[in-house]
Amino acid sequence: MRILALGDVFGEAAVGYLETALPRLLSFLRPELVIANAENASGSSGVEPLQAQRLFEAGCDVLTGGNHTFGRKAFSDYLEAHENALRPANYPAGTPGGGYTVCRAANGARVLVVSLRGNLGFPAPLACPFETLERILAREAGHYDYSAVDFHAEYTSEKVAMGRAFDGRVSVLFGTHTHVPTADETVLPGGTGYITDLGMTGPVDGVLGVRSEIVVSAMKTKLPAHFETAKGEIRANGALFTLSEEGRCLAAERISF
CATH number at residue 244: 3.60.21.10
Rounded mean pLDDT of 46-56? 97
Element (H, E) at 238: strand 237-243
Rounded mean pLDDT of 186-192? 98
On whether the CB atoms of residues 98 and 75 are closer than 8 A, the answer is no
Enter the pTM of the model: 0.96
Q: Is residue 44 pLDDT above 80, yes or no? A: no
Model confidence band, residue 226 (pLDDT cutoffs 50, 70, 90) = confident
Strand, coil or helix: 1: coil
Cα–Cα distances in Å, from 146 out to 97, 142, 247?
A: 22, 10, 5
Q: Which of 68, 82, 177, 179 is catalytic?
A: 68
Rounded mean pLDDT of 221-246? 94
Helix ranges, 71-195 (H):
75-81, 129-139, 156-165
The domain total for the chain is 1
Q: Is residue 27 pLDDT above 90, yes or no? A: yes
Residue 237: domain span: 2-256
Rounded CA separation 72/24 (Å) = 30
Q: Is 226 a catalytic residue?
A: no
Rounded CA separation 64/112 (Å) = 12
**What share of the chain in percent tops pLDDT 70?**
100
Average predicted confidence (pLDDT) for the chain: 97
On whether the CB atoms of residues 86 and 63 are closer than 8 A, the answer is yes
